[in-house]
A and B are shown apart, each in its own frame.
Chain A
Amino acid sequence: MANSELRLGRIRPAPENFLSDEQIQSVKEGRRDFLRKAFLGASAAMAVPAMARAAGPGDPAILNLPAWTTSLGLPVAANPYGMPSKYERGLVRRESPGLTRVGGSSVAFTPLQGLFGIITPSGLHFERHHQGWHDVDPSQHRLMINGMVKTNAVFTMDDLMRLPSVSRIHFIECGANTGMEWGNVAVPTVQYSHGMLSCSEFTGVPLKAILDMCGADYKKGRFILAEGADGSSMTRTIPMEMVESGEVLVAYGMNGEMLRPENGYPLRLVVPGVQGVSWVKWLRRIEVGDKPWGAKDEAVHYIDLMPDGLHRQYSSVQECKSVITTPSGGQILLDKGFYNISGMAWSGRGKVTRVDVSVDGGINWRPARLETPVLSKAVTRFNVDWVWDGKPAILQSRAVDETGYVQPSYGQLRAVRGTKSIYHNNAIQSWKVVESGEVSNVQVL
């Protein structure tokens, strides 16, 4: 902490959340302490390192009482539906420029770089639509069950919400998450590299209960088709084994409230551990059948191209994966010293049992702390202590799930699957830290 005294006379005013070119230059020259000085000027309370010793009379953020301490605040219900602080406005869903051509068939990524714990705030849940989204009138929404059942049936939302409900925490990850990175580094931050991942508490009815009511033919009907009510009426085939296990839910609730329209209000399918495309939104119909359907999103997309030119069809499970979210690409470390490396780990095959972290690009590894709760097919938060000595480093995390499967390296994945499969990239992510404190996205085999 050599430079930690506050030299108040030399404070340079600066905006609190970005660095000027001049400041970046001074970082590159190794003058890292500028940061705290710069931040002090604009909003000292935010950025003073805790251990900084005050020179002179002390910290102006303490000495000069701020407006919020010396005036009346806003009344209750000023925001009838609460919103995040204005200082959090940078953490929003974003599109990756050039990835798609039209907003109605596109992706908006979750800002993982700013999230804590395991739950994704509903307003930040990633979005993927194929034909735009609608705010569906719940009183006009119906769920139909047909096919290999004794009775084709119709349920209203009133019906479904009267049935015994369960609430479960699960991750949902798009099969194409990290897809842009199969061949090489393509995007700067974890929002764009891993942000088609969210984790929520879903409330609804096990589909099994509904199929039981309709007298499903479980002997012959080993597949179900799920279909949405939007323009795309997206369809996906799901194995009956998953339905029978009770884990597939017809869900209306998300994080204590109804699903958000972008996430399928008022009804979506929850298929734990399976890629997001199967979690059909605006769910309107379930058909029981004896063969898979070969729908557009299982015969043209969500098929993984292998080096021999064959596509893998019906690949659905999201295998064990993890990523460090802080520090991560596009960020800058404030100074040498202590950091809490934090990240997320998940597996479509069950619980995460272990996460190891390396700061030397994978030569040596240390076990991270798994924070509770550790749930099956949910995001698990991991943390590990790190004292940065100011030297270059490469941060990696590697998750292991309860089946014993160890998250693979890029080299291992590419050896089997090549670089063109688009889907199911669960490789170990590397973040390079350079002396200036700048963190960037790199790939290590």
Chain B
Amino acid sequence: MSRFSKTLMALFVGGATMAALAPAMAFDRYQGIGRPATASEVKAWDIDVRPDFVGLPKGRGTVDQGVELWETHCASCHGAFGESNEVFTPIVGGTTQDDIKTGRVKALVTGDAPQRSTLMKVPTVSTLFDYIQRAMPWTAPKSLKPDEVYAILAYILNLADVVPADFELSDENIREVQERMPNRNGMTTDHGMWPGAGAAKGGIGNGGKPDVKNVACMKDCKKEVQIVSALPDYAQDAHGNLAEQNRPVGQTRGKQTGTPAEQKGDAAPSAAAATLALANEKGCMACHGVSNKIVGPGYNEILAKYKGQTDAEAKLIAKVKAGGQGVWGAVPMPPQGHVKDEEIKQLVQWILEGAKAQ
């Protein structure tokens, strides 16, 4: 037994009672492997909510409560009205009263909406509850209580006129709300791309029948070749220098595109590139763009503000370390305590030198 650690021993002792709860586990073949889960363990992880509302926790929340929670937890990324395109595609927009009646979003047919918002697509309100509860806010997932999820969801649904402004959403009335989802009739499973049994056998879809049929013609398959699309001019240089994305030997070389690269020879990636990688790794780039605001200001804005101020570096290092709000708006930056002091210094210096990629 000496090879078992203390924690393992504790588990084994605990395991004796756990196993008693459910002796049915087929340990016989693989003895000593796995153990029954406790009820609290299952409860801690099994938070999914299905379209038939199996798994839905009890709770309630009003649109008004939702407005406040949204402001605090969601608006910075998704916009005050769920309309923002900065961090992700808009959550709300593109649905009409008529869609709520028919359950089919018309803009999906006409192509009128500039973008497909979440509410234009999602057929099931359970999906939104499940997802917000498990994954949002993006930087602090699973921090919301069920009542808060109900309230926020009520607010989102109100933005799309699915529920009125004085609505309270709850586990009791969510089924009625489902009947008003704008795209509830907008899905089809009549296709051959479900990898299990077809609908006829209790599964999904047509049982694997492909929807397009080509034949392997070998000779004189067509009269002429018509090129219907080629790389647009604006995209020619958009992916950097292709010469540097190919091998220096072989059958081909990469084409020189974009601004001609410096002939750096075998130089290692520059210090700037390494700092950019650090900023990515430490999560700074989730909230700051090099030249655009995300949750916090763009690095270009920070540079513009502090350029020439001799005490800026020290001030910003302290700010990043401790977090804070008020300089750029009401949204706070959380303390960046997980980043080492010298790394914060490196990052701030890099920002003040223009946050260059190379």
Contacts and interface: CB of A to CB of B under 8 A. Distances in A.
Contacts of A440: 230-231
Interface string A408-426: 1110110111001000100
A53 interface: no
Contacts of A87: 247-249
B254 A152 contact: no
Nearest to A440: B231
Interface stretch (B42-50, B146-154, B311-319, B327-335): B42-50
B159 interface: no
Interface string B1-39: 000000000000000000000101111011001111100
Contacts of A304: 191
B210 A212 contact: no
Contacts of B227: 361, 394, 430, 432, 442-444
Contact of A333 (B29, B111, B251): B251
A19 B256 contact: yes
Nearest to B295: A102
Contacts of A214: 25-26, 34
Given A18-B241, A46-B248, A364-B218, A412 B35 contact: no
A438 B54 CA distance: 57
B312 to A, nearest CB: 26
Nearest to B263: A15
Nearest to A319: B210
A391 to B, nearest CB: 14
Contacts of B41: 144, 152, 154
Given A105-B88, A308-B109, A295 B131 contact: yes
A438 B217 CA distance: 28
Q: Which of B36, B50, B51, B229 is the most central at the interface, judged by chain A CB atoms within 10 Å of its CB?
A: B229
A88 B126 CA distance: 48
Interface string A311-355: 111111101000000110111111000011000000011000010
A405 interface: yes
A124 interface: no
Interface string A240-263: 111000000000000000000000
A443 B130 CA distance: 40
Contacts of B104: 309
Contacts of B118: 300
A313 B252 contact: no
Contacts of B200: none
Given A90-B254, A235-B48, A356-B216, A18 B261 contact: yes
Contacts of A300: 118, 121-122, 127, 131
A154 B294 contact: no
Contacts of B285: 102-104
A231 to B, nearest CB: 4
Contacts of A363: 220-222, 225
Interface in B305-350: none
Interface in A7-52: 15-21, 24, 35, 43, 46-47
Contact of A162 (B33, B252, B280): B33
A362 interface: yes
Given A309-B108, A310-B186, A432-B227, A417 B286 contact: no
B170 interface: no
B194 A317 contact: yes
Given A18-B261, A187-B239, A394-B225, A293 B50 contact: yes
B195 A90 contact: no
A347 B194 CA distance: 14
Contacts of A154: 34-37, 41
Given A443-B228, A444-B227, A131 B222 contact: no
Nearest to B116: A305
A185 B25 contact: no
Q: Which of B88, B141, B193 is the most central at the interface, judged by chain A CB atoms within 10 Å of its CB?
A: B193
Sort chain B's interface into a size bin: 35 or more
A153 B25 contact: yes
Interface in B243-259: 243-257
Given A21-B260, A114-B246, A296 B253 contact: no
Contacts of A188: 231, 235-236, 238-239, 242, 257
Nearest to A154: B37
A410 B228 contact: yes
B234 to A, nearest CB: 10
B214 A406 contact: yes
A239 B203 contact: yes
A164 B213 CA distance: 41
Contact of A132 (B208, B211, B244, B286): B286
A163 B256 CA distance: 52
Given A111-B245, A192-B239, A332 B37 contact: no
A299 B127 CA distance: 7
B106 interface: yes
A141 interface: no
A94 interface: yes
B194 A409 contact: no
Given A24-B256, A154-B37, A364 B221 contact: yes
A15 B190 CA distance: 55
B105 interface: yes
A280 B218 CA distance: 40
Contacts of A242: 195-196
Interface in B64-94: 86-88
B45 A285 contact: yes
Q: Which of A130, A147, A400, A443 is the most central at the interface, judged by chain B CB atoms within 10 Å of its CB?
A: A443
A441 B239 CA distance: 13
Given A241-B196, A296-B127, A356-B218, A326 B189 contact: no
Given A146-B46, A285-B45, A296-B127, A330 B195 contact: no
6 contacts: A90-B247, A97-B240, A144-B41, A233-B141, A317-B193, A334-B253
Interface of A: 15-21, 24, 35, 43, 46-47, 86-88, 90-91, 94, 96-98, 101-105, 111, 113-114, 130-132, 144-147, 150-155, 159, 162-163, 184-189, 191-192, 209-210, 212-215, 222-223, 225, 227, 231-233, 235, 238-242, 271, 273-274, 284-285, 287, 289, 291-296, 299-300, 303-306, 308-317, 319, 326-327, 329-334, 339-340, 348-349, 354, 356, 360-366, 394, 398, 400, 405-410, 412-413, 415-417, 420, 424, 430, 432, 438-445
